[in-house]
Amino acid sequence: MGKKLLLEHINVEGIQSLEVYRKMGGYASVEKAIKTMTPDEVVEEVKKSGLRGRGGAGFPTGMKWSFIAKPQGVPRYLVCNADESEPGTFKDRYLMEKIPHSLIEGMITSSYALGANTSYIYIRGEYFYVSRILERAIAEAYAAGWLGKNILGSGYDLDLYVHVGAGAYICGEETALLESLEGKRGNPRIKPPFPAVKGLYGSPTVVNNVETIATVSHIVNMGGEEYAKIGIGRSTGTKLISAGGNINKPGVYEIELGVPVEEFIFSDEYCGGIPNGRKLKACVPGGSSVPILPAHLLLKTAKNESRLMSYESLSDGGFESGSMLGSGGFIVYDDRACIVRSTYNFSHFYRHESCGQCSPCREGTSWMEKILKEIEYGRGTMDDIDLLWDIQGNIEGKTICPLGDAAAWPVAAAIRHFRHEFEYHVKYPEKVKDIKHTPPPMPV
Amino acid sequence: MSSQNTQDKIAFSDEALQLVNSIIKRYPEGKQKSALIPVLHIAQAEFDGWLSPQTMDYVASLLKLKPIEVYEVATFYSMFNLKPAGKCILEVCKTVPCWLNGAEDLVAYLEKKLGIKTGETTADGMFTLRTVECLGSCGTAPMLQCGASYYENLTNEKADALIDKLRVENTRKNYTDII
Ligand SMILES: Cc1cc2nc3c(=O)[nH]c(=O)nc-3n(C[C@H](O)[C@H](O)[C@H](O)COP(=O)(O)O)c2cc1C
Ligand code: FES
């Protein structure tokens, strides 16, 4: 069994309540930070921990925090990103629903470190019922003096609010999120200025993922150096993985970073293998935006080393032969899955979710979806495959926010590793007529 | 709840108005525009499950915004209905992890059972069927959302039972419902 931090008490009866959460040691980090540490000392521990943002980009959290501007007389904000809309990802919902106080505790400790007196949790609108769970937990925390004025007699004040969105993947992008929180359309902002300088209402702001913030409490409790001992290399700590697709035991797993991918998929401690005696075909290991890998490159790197669940190992080989850890949305495909249909499905998603600001993304995503639909239904040509390759290359890197890249990469990876399936659709239209067609076997 | 969408003057119930005022207080002085999305959710639930131009104008006046500021937001977010819909909107997730676990079969089954195509509403105004993008429930696929509730690990039998239950309850399901 690997080390558990975030989910250690997940099965404790009543852990949703403040009373039980406290009995399990909850809110210790708030006491420790506020009573014995300066805000800068908390930032220092987070730096030492090597924690990297759990929302997808993996940016070092301590470094991000140290960038926050501190002009006199201007408020600072901490905003928690609970938009969780990256297909394949459901860990934040699980954590907030099961142990809401772990997020509240992390928000208090982190807000203290950043000098924020008002903080928001921006949660996707579809999670309305989860927002109610958080609001109940926040009310309990206020009543017990963990929030509000003069917390623990320290003179530090903090108000914490939940803000619900209304259905838009783009609002997970941090500047779109801030626009949305200001009551506007979720159009990402041009950076710089970065939120650390000009964020919510033009004030210095840090945006962090739910899991990142919940992890801060553990770092404060155990110390940054201790935390850094967990995991492997620069992938320190534990990570929540949302495992889904064709596996025996879908769900959220807390892993110590560095677990071999093969063990994660086949061991009974985690996914428990592929159901119905099918074979592992492919996997999108970090949420829909990261490149899909065929089984042989998933389990072993191009250098024939065992592939590990870590930032470095999953991206080993670059996009030629690797992928990314991303948000930890781990989607497994068995050998019946048609990669063209999967790519068409994702392209529909990105077309639907593009905010429409940048032409390459707005036009490119609709064009890709259209071509993929033609190919999937046996009406495409070989030239279409090359055209698709061209279009994705003309979106990548040419947009204000990374949604463009996120739309391009899955298409590029599917063509790179599964070109034979696209060609099969072009060559044998009658074999792909049924929407449940069997894909051709992998070439050897 | 009130259903005054068709009358000349619309207004929130006292209860809803109180809630709106408490939401506005979550944001700094002068930043009441931040309350727009939460208030539109309340408005949609109060006024028949959709945002008519009149409802949007009302929200604009409440928050001291220009009507256009409300329209541009209401049209951006997928959870806001700009046309009337069925009392129960069945939103089936169709994104890849759900697709790998039978979402297409579930949609086909519901279409057949309700006698409508995706995007349509039953003649009695009870059900609208939609497909939506990943709802963060990929480990419990296939699934659908109706109002505030997630219905997960669905089978045809469970879908039957759900439809029956919703028919018996015969109430509008809103995202803002307390479940
Ligand atoms: C299109 C798009 C969608 C995103 N969605 C999310 C999301 O749902 N949740 C999240 O935490 N980060 C999301 N991100 C990443 C955020 O922009 C940001 O990097 C993150 O919230 C920072 O937090 P972290 O450093 O703790 O990971 C998204 C980014 C993009 C470009
Ligand atoms: S793909 Fe359906 S809930 Fe995520």
Domain holding B124, by residue range, is 88-178
**One-character DSSP codes across A260-287:** BHHHHHHSTTTT---GGGPPEEEEEBTB
Mean pLDDT of A75-102: 98
By Cβ distance, the residue of A87, A92, A251 closest to B133 is A87
CA distance linking residue A134 with residue A404, whole number of Å = 32
User: What confidence score (pLDDT) does residue A434 get?
Assistant: 87
Is the predicted pLDDT of residue A48 greater than 60, yes or no? yes
CA distance linking residue B35 with residue A348, whole number of Å = 31
CATH for B31: 1.10.10
Q: Chain B residue closest to A343 (CA)? A: B96
φ/ψ region of A331 (left if φ > 0, alpha if ψ in -120 to 50, else beta) reads beta
Query: Please, which pLDDT band fits residue A215 given cuts at 50, 70 and 90?
Result: very high
Looking at the structure, tell me whether residues B116 and B161 fall in a common domain.
yes
Examine residue B83 and state whether it is found in any structural domain, yes or no.
no
By Cβ distance, the residue of B34, B41, B133 closest to A181 is B34
Looking at the structure, tell me whether residues B59 and B106 fall in a common domain.
no
Report the percentage of chain A scoring pLDDT > 90: 97
Q: Provide the token pair at A148.
A: 């509000």
Q: Provide the token pair at A24.
A: 């399990």
Give the type of residue at A142.
Y
Examine residue B8 and state whether it is found in any structural domain, yes or no.
yes
Q: Provide the token pair at A191.
A: 């950076």
Averaged pLDDT score across all residues of chain A: 97
Looking at the structure, tell me whether residues B69 and B100 fall in a common domain.
no
Is the predicted pLDDT of residue A385 greater than 80, yes or no? yes
Examine residue B82 and state whether it is found in any structural domain, yes or no.
no
Mean pLDDT of A62-68: 97
Mean pLDDT of B3-25: 83
Looking at the structure, tell me whether residues B71 and B142 fall in a common domain.
no
CA distance linking residue B23 with residue A186, whole number of Å = 20
Mean pLDDT of A92-104: 98
Give the type of residue at B121.
T
Mean pLDDT of A103-132: 98
Output the CA A251–ligand 1 centroid distance in Å: 21
Is the predicted pLDDT of residue B112 greater than 60, yes or no? yes
What are the chain A neighbours of B82 within 8 Å (beta carbons)? none
Chain B residues whose C-beta sits inside 8 Å of any chain A C-beta: 26, 28, 31, 33-38, 40-41, 65, 69, 72-73, 76-80, 94-97, 99-101, 104, 133-141, 145, 148-150, 175-176, 178-179
The reply to whether ligand 2 has any atom less than 6 angstroms from the CB of A87 is: yes
Residue A433 in 3-state DSSP? coil
Q: How many domains does chain B have?
A: 2
Beta-carbon contacts of residue A111 (< 8 Å; ≥ 6 apart): A78, A117, A119, A158, A160
CA distance linking residue A310 with residue A441, whole number of Å = 29
Looking at the structure, tell me whether residues B34 and B92 fall in a common domain.
no
Examine residue B36 and state whether it is found in any structural domain, yes or no.
yes
Show which of B51, B76, B101 is a domain's final residue: B76
Looking at the structure, tell me whether residues B97 and B173 fall in a common domain.
yes
- A260 bridge partner residues: A308
Is the predicted pLDDT of residue A344 greater than 90, yes or no? yes
CATH for B156: 3.40.30.10
Is the predicted pLDDT of residue B8 greater than 80, yes or no? no
Is the predicted pLDDT of residue A306 greater than 90, yes or no? yes
Is the predicted pLDDT of residue B3 greater than 50, yes or no? no
Looking at the structure, tell me whether residues B32 and B102 fall in a common domain.
no
Looking at the structure, tell me whether residues B37 and B106 fall in a common domain.
no
Show which of B76, B96, B116 is a domain's final residue: B76
**One-character DSSP codes across A62-107:** HHHHHT----TT---EEEEEE---STT--HHHHHHHH-HHHHHHHH
Is the predicted pLDDT of residue B4 greater than 80, yes or no? no
The reply to whether ligand 1 has any atom less than 6 angstroms from the CB of A215 is: no
Burial class (CB in 10 A: 0-12, 13-18, 19+), B18: exposed
CA distance linking residue B127 with residue B121, whole number of Å = 6
- Could you tell me if A295 and A248 are in contact, meaning their C-beta atoms sit under 8 angstroms apart? no
Looking at the structure, tell me whether residues B72 and B100 fall in a common domain.
no
Cα–Cα nearest to A283, from A305, A266, A268 = A266
Is the predicted pLDDT of residue A188 greater than 80, yes or no? yes
Is the predicted pLDDT of residue A237 greater than 80, yes or no? yes
Looking at the structure, tell me whether residues B103 and B55 fall in a common domain.
no
- Could you tell me if A55 and A212 are in contact, meaning their C-beta atoms sit under 8 angstroms apart? yes
Asked whether the beta carbons of residue A90 and residue B34 sit closer than 8 angstroms, the reply is no
* ipTM above 0.85 for this complex: yes
Looking at the structure, tell me whether residues B92 and B174 fall in a common domain.
yes
